[in-house]
């Protein structure tokens, strides 16, 4: 009966359905709520007949700009009129504390039912540390404490079980991918296998990070009351010594905070070996990942970069920053740069020195072409390709290498075709150039690739729809292209299979028409799409994730910035679980992959 009642709740107003309409995905909502969504999203003004389900984000194509075209759900309507169901569900009580909690666990050794808190305390006791805690025998029949309903759903974003009402709460799971537990287990099967493989690596990283922090804490304590090896030299001014002592105390406080976080992670790791249900395993791993993400937040940049560096302090920050279960230890570059197109000028933000540096191309006859694109190479050089001299001129075929550190440039082989406002991506030693405008200043479908080993360009299969200023990202052996301009701003998605040399126009559409945006593959099944502009050149100040497996968009998040961010033109790098980008105002912003949050990093 609980599931029957859940079907009668509107996911928008969270009240009993009134005059219910049904979407293609089988979710229901009130007729008036559907009408409000169409009005609020200005679908008629945007000439978009795509209605996005507020629960699962799947698309329903409207025949007109009105909720009248959505079919009524006569079955649910009949239930609403004919029944008033009450549910008196029984709950499992914790045999340790007596609290009623449906999310119970069974200790296989003691044969007692425990709530999640008592279960964690149980195995934390040395006497019971080898006991195996098993989730409620009926894995899918846990009950939400708040709503007293079955937790038969699983949120793929928050990695937790939830009931139908929780899933429909816009302040909790808005835009998230919610599946039945059975389907979630299928989709997360590969992730669970990989997570199990990573547990020993996680243990080693935790041990290493804890060892490094303890060394630094001992060093800080020994230097608190003396001029130790980390203190300024005696000839330094008293103000500098005073600042150092102040920063030293702050650093000690932050080290102690992070030691506490490490010890929390250390206690959670053994549970990863005990879970039988893969969803429990994924949930616990996600909890550890969120704890790990706090390491960046707990180190203030002004203290880190202005503290005198000791022999071991250099390694602590990196040890903590990359303590993430499901993310690789990735530092793509220590420098972030902004190329001023149409000039020889560019500026660099150096993470190691925490400073901006203005630079210039040494060759006085060469400048970064307007509407050109670039990729950063493993040696930190930049390959700049194409572009054009003026808005109405044809695209260039030329390319050259730039060393951002010195401003030196080196010739690169010219492309087969001219390209401007195109996509450029580096994948496994090959630079892919996709679409854009050609030598005649017309949107073209031509694509090509530069093999960096042989320094030769080769044509690859043409994209289905030529487009300018789309977003592009690579995941594994595939390239995904989103949106762009093609007579008008569009929302189509194409996928290029590198091994097959084929393009596929996917059935999925971007939630909105978008161009000049950025894209970045943040995992083996997710792409972040962010910034850019809409059809009326209005700034697009949000990001969302594209799930490759489910072909769905979710996790819409605001980008905290007042200026327009056309990430299509900007340099984007990954450092650990953070992405960084910089704009012409010398503003550096970061995106936290673990917490799905944007922040201003440096101005």
String of DSSP letters for 370-428: BT-EEEE-TTS-EEEE--BSSTTSPPP--EEEEETTTTEEEEEPPPSS--BS-EEEEET
Contact indicator for 391, 347 with CB cutoff of 8 Å: no
More confident residue, 133 or 303: 133
- Return phi, psi of residue 556, to 5°: -65, 130
Contact indicator for 215, 312 with CB cutoff of 8 Å: yes
**pLDDT-derived band of residue 586, with 50, 70 and 90 as boundaries?**
confident
Q: What one-character DSSP code corresponds to residue 128?
A: G
Please determine, for residue 294, whether its predicted confidence score (pLDDT) is greater than 80. no
Contact indicator for 330, 576 with CB cutoff of 8 Å: yes
Q: State how far the Cα of 382 lies from the Cα of 131, in Å rounded to an integer.
A: 55
Q: What one-character DSSP code corresponds to residue 127?
A: G
pLDDT per residue over 368-398, tens digit each? 999 999 999 988 899 999 999 999 999 999 9
Q: State how far the Cα of 434 lies from the Cα of 460, in Å rounded to an integer.
A: 9
Count CB neighbours of 308 within 10 A: 14
- Return phi, psi of residue 194, to 5°: -65, -40
Structure tokens at 126: 């040395």
- CA distances (Å), origin 153, targets 6, 25, 114, 164, 183: 12, 16, 22, 7, 9
Identify the three-state secondary structure at position 290. helix
- Return phi, psi of residue 29, to 5°: -155, 165
Please determine, for residue 301, whether its predicted confidence score (pLDDT) is greater than 80. no
Q: Strand pairing of 552-558 and 542-547? A: antiparallel
Structure tokens at 117: 């808190």
Least confident of 43-57, 232-246, 316-330, 451-465: 316-330
**Reported pTM:** 0.54
Complete edge-to-edge strand list for the sheet that includes strand 382-385 = 373-376, 382-385, 399-403, 408-412
**pLDDT at position 326:** 39
Block residue for tokens 């499992």:
92
**pLDDT at position 369:** 96
Average pLDDT rounded to a whole number, residues 118-135: 72
Contact indicator for 74, 55 with CB cutoff of 8 Å: no
**pLDDT-derived band of residue 318, with 50, 70 and 90 as boundaries?**
very low
Contact indicator for 571, 583 with CB cutoff of 8 Å: no
**pLDDT at position 376:** 92
Please determine, for residue 280, whether its predicted confidence score (pLDDT) is greater than 80. yes
Contact indicator for 430, 381 with CB cutoff of 8 Å: no
**pLDDT at position 592:** 86
**pLDDT at position 283:** 85
Q: Residue 389 class from Cβ within 10 Å (0-12 exposed, 13-18 middle, 19+ buried)?
A: middle
Q: Strand pairing of 430-434 and 447-451? A: antiparallel
Q: State how far the Cα of 9 lies from the Cα of 5, in Å rounded to an integer.
A: 7
Q: State how far the Cα of 124 lies from the Cα of 38, in Å rounded to an integer.
A: 52
- Return phi, psi of residue 529, to 5°: -120, 130
Average pLDDT rounded to a whole number, residues 429-438: 96
Structure tokens at 402: 């730039």
* Nearest partner of 470 among 438, 432, 538, 518, judged by Cα: 518
Q: State how far the Cα of 279 lies from the Cα of 28, in Å rounded to an integer.
A: 27
**pLDDT-derived band of residue 136, with 50, 70 and 90 as boundaries?**
low
Structure tokens at 540: 């697009």
More confident residue, 247 or 34: 34
**pLDDT at position 328:** 40
Structure tokens at 287: 């909890």
Contact indicator for 468, 437 with CB cutoff of 8 Å: yes
Structure tokens at 179: 């599946």
* Segment of 146-150, 369-373, 576-580 carrying the highest mean pLDDT: 369-373
Average pLDDT rounded to a whole number, residues 172-185: 83
DSSP string spanning 491-557? -EEEEEETTTTEEEEEEEE-SS--BS-EEEE-SSSEEEEE--B-TTS-B--EEEEEETTTTEEEEEE
Contacts with 82 (C-beta within 8 Å, 6 or more apart), sequence order: none
Least confident of 46-55, 83-92, 426-435, 567-576: 83-92
* Segment of 141-145, 209-213, 341-345, 590-594 carrying the highest mean pLDDT: 341-345
Average pLDDT rounded to a whole number, residues 504-529: 92
* Nearest partner of 181 among 202, 222, 150, 213, judged by Cα: 150
Q: State how far the Cα of 277 lies from the Cα of 185, in Å rounded to an integer.
A: 9
Tell me the β-bridge partners of 425: 432
**Rounded CA Rg of the chain:** 27
Q: State how far the Cα of 582 lies from the Cα of 564, in Å rounded to an integer.
A: 12
Q: Inter-axis angle of helices 238-274 and 189-223, to 10 degrees?
A: 150
The pLDDT mean for the chain works out to 78
Please determine, for residue 399, whether its predicted confidence score (pLDDT) is greater than 80. yes
Q: Using alpha carbons only, what angle is made at residue 116 by residues 112 and 119, rounded to the nearest 5 degrees? A: 45
Count CB neighbours of 200 within 10 A: 10
More confident residue, 273 or 335: 335
**pLDDT at position 305:** 38
């Amino acid at each position: 009966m609980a599931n029957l009642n859940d079907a009668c709740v509107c996911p928008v107003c969270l009240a009993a359905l009134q005059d219910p309409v049904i979407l293609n995905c089988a979710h229901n909502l009130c007729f008036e709520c559907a009408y409000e969504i169409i009005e609020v999203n200005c679908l008629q003004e945007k000439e978009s007949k795509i209605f996005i389900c507020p629960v699962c984000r799947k698309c329903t194509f409207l025949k007109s700009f009105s909720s009248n075209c959505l079919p009524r759900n006569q079955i649910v309507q009949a239930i609403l009129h004919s029944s008033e169901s009450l549910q008196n569900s029984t709950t499992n009580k914790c045999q340790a504390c007596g609290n009623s909690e449906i999310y119970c666990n069974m200790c296989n050794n003691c044969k007692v039912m425990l709530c999640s808190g008592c279960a964690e305390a149980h195995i934390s006791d040395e006497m019971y540390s080898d006991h195996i805690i098993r989730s409620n025998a009926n894995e899918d029949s846990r009950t939400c404490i708040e709503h007293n309903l079955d937790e038969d759903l699983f949120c793929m974003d928050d990695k937790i079980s939830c009931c139908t009402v929780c899933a429909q709460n816009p302040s909790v799971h808005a835009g998230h991918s919610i599946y039945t537990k059975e389907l979630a287990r299928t989709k997360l099967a590969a992730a669970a296998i990989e997570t199990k493989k990573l547990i020993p690596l996680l243990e080693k990283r935790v041990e290493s990070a804890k060892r490094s922090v303890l060394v630094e804490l001992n060093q800080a304590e020994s230097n608190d009351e003396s001029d130790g090896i980390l203190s300024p030299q005696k000839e330094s001014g008293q103000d500098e010594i005073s600042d150092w002592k102040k920063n030293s105390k702050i650093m000690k406080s932050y080290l102690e905070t992070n030691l506490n976080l490490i010890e929390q992670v250390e206690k959670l790791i053994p549970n990863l070996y005990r879970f039988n249900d893969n969803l429990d395993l994924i949930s616990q791993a996600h909890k550890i990942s969120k704890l790990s993400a706090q390491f960046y937040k707990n180190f203030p940049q002004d203290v880190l970069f202005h503290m005198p560096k000791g022999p071991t302090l250099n390694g602590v920050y990196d040890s903590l920053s990359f303590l993430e279960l499901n993310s690789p230890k990735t530092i793509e570059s220590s420098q972030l740069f902004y190329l001023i197109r149409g000039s020889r000028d560019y500026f660099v933000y150096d993470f190691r020195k925490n400073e901006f540096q203005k630079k210039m191309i040494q060759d006085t006859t060469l400048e970064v072409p307007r509407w050109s694109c670039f990729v950063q190479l493993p040696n930190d050089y930049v390959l700049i390709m194409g572009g054009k001299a003026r808005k109405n001129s044809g695209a260039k075929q030329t390319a050259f290498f730039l060393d951002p550190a010195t401003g030196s440039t080196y010739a690169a082989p010219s492309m087969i075709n001219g390209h401007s406002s195109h996509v450029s991506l580096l994948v496994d030693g090959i630079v892919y150039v996709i679409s854009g405008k050609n030598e005649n200043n017309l949107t073209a479908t031509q694509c090509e690739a530069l093999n960096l080993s042989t320094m030769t360009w080769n044509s690859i299969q043409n994209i289905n729809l030529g487009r300018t200023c789309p977003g592009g990202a690579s995941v594994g052996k595939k390239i995904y292209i989103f949106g762009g301009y093609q007579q008008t701003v569009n929302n189509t998605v194409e996928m290029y299979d590198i091994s097959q040399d084929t393009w596929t126009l996917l059935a999925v559409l971007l939630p909105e028409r978008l161009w000049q945006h950025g894209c970045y593959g943040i995992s083996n099944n997710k792409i972040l799409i962010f910034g850019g502009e809409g059809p009326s050149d209005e700034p697009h100040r949000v990001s969302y994730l594209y799930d490759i497996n489910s072909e769905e968009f979710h996790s819409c998040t605001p980008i905290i910035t007042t200026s327009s961010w056309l990430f299509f033109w900007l340099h984007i790098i990954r450092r650990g679980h953070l992405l960084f980008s910089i704009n012409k105002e010398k503003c550096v912003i970061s995106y936290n992959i673990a917490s799905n949050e944007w922040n201003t990093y440096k101005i």
